[in-house]
Amino acid sequence: MQVDLTSNYFELFGLPVGFDVDLQRLQSRYQELQKVLHPDNFAAASDAEKRWSMQAAATLNDAQATLKKPLARATYLLRMNDVDLDTETDTQMSPQFLMCQMELRERMEDISSKADPYSEVESVRAEISELTSETSAQFAGSFSSNDFAVARDFARQWQFLDKLARETDDIEAALDEA
C-alpha cells in the first residue's frame, strides 16, 4: 500500500472521484493505510521519515472524515473543481428557501411550549430529514451533470439544513434535562 500525499482524497483511498462512495471500502482502505502509517513501523526510521508519517496520518484522518460525511464530501468535490461555497461572504439565498428556514426556525422556537414537545421535535426532525434527502439528491444530480453553479446552491442550502438538524438534537437534549 502506498500513501501519496499529493493525490486527492479519493485517489488516496483508491476510490473513484464522485459523490457516491462505497463507505465499507472507504473504511477498509482507511484501516489498511492506518496500519501502514502506524508509528511502530517508523521506530527505526529517520526523523524526516517520522515527520512525514505523522503528517500523512493527519492527512489520512482528514481525508477519511471528509469522505465519510456526505455534506463534507460534497463541499470537497466542489472545491476540487475550484468552486467555493463562500459560506461567510455570500449571503444571497433563494427567498423561498429563506422563508422555509424562517418557518422551521419558528417551529423549533416553539417546541418547548408544546403540550407534547417530543412529538413536535420528531415532526420537525422528519421534515428536516426529508428536505436534506431532497437537497442531497439535487446536489448529486447537478454535480454529476457538471452543473457546478447549481450544485453549489444546493450544497449551500444543505449547510443550513445540517445546522438545523444539529440544533434539533440540542433542543431534544435540553428537553431531556428539563
Between residues 58 and 102, which has the closer beta carbon with respect to another protein? 102
For residue 174, state whether it binds another protein (rule: CB under 8 A). no
Q: Which of residues 23-82 bind another protein (CB under 8 A)?
A: none
Between residues 24 and 89, which has the closer beta carbon with respect to another protein? 89
Number of residues that bind another protein (CB under 8 A): 24
Residue 82 C-beta: closest distance to another protein, Å? 18
DSSP codes joined into one string, 65-113: HHHHSHHHHHHHHHHHTT----TTT-----HHHHHHHHHHHHHHHHGGG
3-state secondary structure of 64: helix
Torsion of CA 60, 62, 165, 105, to 10 degrees: -170
Between residues 101 and 123, which has the closer beta carbon with respect to another protein? 101
Q: Which of residues 99-158 bind another protein (CB under 8 A)?
A: 99, 101-102, 105, 109, 156-157
Which region among 1-9, 24-32, 85-93, 168-176 touches another protein (by CB under 8 A)? 85-93
Cell reading at 77:
468535490
Which backbone phi and psi does 85 adopt, to 5 degrees? -80, -15
What region does 122 belong to: left with phi over 0, alpha with psi -120 to 50, or beta?
Answer: alpha
* DSSP 8-class letter at 45: S
For residue 92, state whether it binds another protein (rule: CB under 8 A). yes
**Binding footprint of another protein on the chain (CB under 8 A):** 85, 87-93, 95, 97-99, 101-102, 105, 109, 156-157, 159-160, 162-164, 167
